[in-house]
Chain A
Amino acid sequence: GAGVSQTPSNKVTEKGKYVELRCDPISGHTALYWYRQSLGQGPEFLIYFQGTGAADDSGLPNDRFFAVRPEGSVSTLKIQRTERGDSAVYLCASSLRPSSYEQYFGPGTRLTVT
Chain B
Amino acid sequence: QKEVEQDPGPLSVPEGAIVSLNCTYSNSAFQYFMWYRQYSRKGPELLMYTYSSGNKEDGRFTAQVDKSSKYISLFIRDSQPSDSATYLCASCSNDYKLSFGAGTTVTVRA
Q: How far is the CA of A55 from the CA of B99 in the complex (A)?
A: 18
Judging by beta carbons under 8 Å apart, are B98 and A101 in contact? yes
A51 at the interface (CB under 8 A from B): no
Give the size range of B's interface with the partner. Answer: 20 to 34
Check A99–B96 contact: CB distance below 8 A: yes
| Interchain CA distance A105-B43 in the complex, whole Å | 6
Query: Taking the complex as formed, is A56 at the interface, i.e. its CB lies under 8 A from any CB of chain B?
Result: yes
Interface size on A, residues (CB 8 A): 27
Q: What are 6 A-B contacts defined by CB distance under 8 Å? A: A6-B43, A42-B88, A48-B97, A101-B32, A101-B92, A102-B46
Q: Could you tell me which A residues sit within 8 Å of B by CB distance?
A: 4, 6, 31, 33, 35, 40-45, 48, 56, 59, 91, 95, 99-108, 110
- Interface of B toward A, CB cutoff 8 Å: 4, 6, 32, 34, 36, 41-46, 49, 88, 90, 92, 94-103
